[in-house]
Amino acid sequence: MPKKIFSKSKISFFVVIAVILLLIFFNFKGWLGIPKNIIYQASSPFLKSFQWLSVKTAAGVKIFTSIKDLMVENSDLKQENQKLWQENSDLKEAARENQDLRQRLALGQIQGRVFILAKIVGFNPELGQYFLIDKGKSEGVSEGLAVVTADNFLIGKVVEAEQHNAKVLLISDSDSIVNALTQDGRVSGIVKGTTGLGLDMEMIPINKEIKTGETVLTSGRNDNFPAGLIVGKISDIILKETDIFQKAAIQPAANFSELESVFVIK
Amino acid sequence: MKIVLIIFTSLIIVSLQLTVLARLSLFNVAPNLILALSIAWAIYQKDQKHSWLILIPAVLFDLLIGRPLGLITLAIWLTFSFVSWLGKFLFKQSGFIPVMVLSLSGVVFYELIYAGLIRSAQFFNLNGAKILWTDFYLFAPRAILYNCILCLIAFWLIKKALPAFNKLK
């Protein structure tokens, strides 16, 4: 009896498996660009509508469940704080850059960057944290480009670009690695994603001093991220006597779950 | 007519999964509507004739955000087949307890098989999501609980909606 039941669906089971494996192979070869674009174009109106709806609903629920005035005030203060943080960071960077330039007695050319505004149309917070954005190759987005918020807070990088959409790997993903340095001490390390939406700064030399609350920036060394983007703040320092490197927990500058639009830096 | 409706519904399901459900994540675990529907469909269906239909939302989801592409579809299909097989062998009667046990078995199976597939993809150097077992042990129980509840809701929805769908030409 059991044999009979299994044999009825055996062929279709293996046919489907074969088709899926074929799909994986086609994707590996890069032959699925057109179907991907068709699916994206077809689902784009739904994605945009639901994204808009979920953002509005989330905002409505948030206000409803909080004390209204305090919530608004808190939000304003947070925005102001982020703005000041950004300005402060820019000023510090400008001062340091100025100092470097004076030391060298020459003016370095600051590389011109193009910011491509993209809307987040989908998010997958499960294993592998990706945003789906509504800009792709036709708008100049390509793999490896850095993605930031309007405040220059680093979000991640483009890992796959199709014609009209792209996938962005968040810096909080365990697969993400960003070369970074602390703003005041100029101590280098690498920022990696941890469990959840957290970040860790690793490979910090044991003899270097880092402080809680210090801002962490991208160093721009050996990766595609431009230097000076804000990654976050050091929230905790993990120092073990037996280790040759120290580690720091980073509070990300951007709130990944509340983003609506981002900028791709070209 | 039916196939158009299925594709249209699948696009809505996938869009919901990537937007609204992603925002319903608790402790970084989002409910998986596609998984819930596939398990509910596997429990509900009386024959194997339309089993491939469950692949439509899975493939669409994979084409949109799957990295590496194909693994979600593969995991969904294996889970679907496992639940169908289990349902036929172990639970012939339909009641709340068998449905719950099948949902739980399906969700646990999916979490294990998906993690296994991701690890295999890493082994074959396919670019995409990576998994650390420490993360898996932390997130899997939450995902199982969350998706199991969603499975029961999906089962109830299918039970209510399918008679109307079958009347369509």
Summarize pLDDT for B3-21 with one digit per residue, the tens: 888 889 999 999 999 888 8
- pLDDT of A166 > 70? The answer is yes
Do B165 and B44 contact (CB within 8 A), yes or no? Answer: no
Q: Report CA A136 to chain centroid distance, whole Å.
A: 16
The SS3 call for residue A182 is strand
How far are the Cα atoms of A133, A136, B17, B72 from residue A35, in angstroms, in the given order?
Answer: 17, 15, 20, 17
Cis peptide preceding B68, ω within 30 of 0: yes
CB within 8 Å: B20 and A23: no
From A12, which residue of chain B is nearest by alpha-carbon distance?
B52
Distance, first Cα to last Cα, chain A: 63
The tokens for A83 are 């703005």
Q: CATH assignment of A113-266, given 3.30.470.20, 2.40.10.350, 3.40.50.300, 3.30.70.3040?
A: 2.40.10.350
Q: Binning pLDDT at 50, 70 and 90, where does residue A105 land?
A: very low
pLDDT for position A1: 47
Sign of CA dihedral A18, A24, A26, A31: positive
Higher pLDDT, A245 or A103: A245
Find the CB nearest B18 among A13, A24, A132: A132
Give the integer Cα–Cα distance in Å for A51 and B18. 8
Contact A20 B70 (CB under 8 A): yes
For residue B46, give how far its alpha carbon lies from the nearest alpha carbon of chain A (Å): 12
Nearest to B64 among A40, A49, A196 (CB): A40
* pLDDT confidence of residue B6: 87
Greater pLDDT, B45 or A104:
B45
Q: Residue B138: list chain A partners with CB under 8 A.
A: 195
User: What CA–CA distances, in Å, run from A152 to A57, A72, A116, A136, A149?
Assistant: 26, 23, 13, 20, 5
Mean pLDDT along residues B58-66: 88
**For B89, nearest residue in chain A (alpha carbons):** A2
Q: Where are the domains of chain A?
A: 2-63, 67-104, 113-266
Q: How far is A39 from chain B (nearest CA, A)?
A: 7
SS3 call for A51: helix
Residue B62's domain spans which residues?
A: 2-166
CA atoms within 13 A on the CB side of A197: 21
Global ipTM: 0.83
Closest alpha carbon to A191 in A216, A159, A213:
A216
pLDDT digits (tens, 9 = 90+) for B74-111: 999 999 999 988 888 777 666 788 888 999 999 999 98
| Residue A59 near chain B (CB below 8 Å) | no
**Nearest by Cα to B41 from B26, B27, B59, B56:** B56
Give B138's contacts (C-beta < 8 A, 6+ positions apart). Answer: A195
Buried b (16+ CB within 10 A) or exposed e, B11-26: bebbbbbbbbbbbebe
pLDDT at B106: 93
| Number of domains within chain B | 1
**Distance (Å) from the alpha carbon of A210 to chain B's nearest alpha carbon:** 28
Q: Rounded CA gap, A156 and A191, in Å?
A: 11
pLDDT tens profile B101-116: 999 999 999 989 988 8
A196: pLDDT confidence band, cut at 50, 70 and 90?
A: low
When pLDDT is averaged across residues A57-66 and rounded to a whole number, the result is 67
- DSSP secondary structure code for residue B50 in this structure: T
The two structure tokens encoding residue A19: 């088709």
Q: What's the half-sphere exposure (Cβ side, CA atoms, 13 Å) at A65?
A: 6
- The CA distance from A231 to A209, in Å, is 19
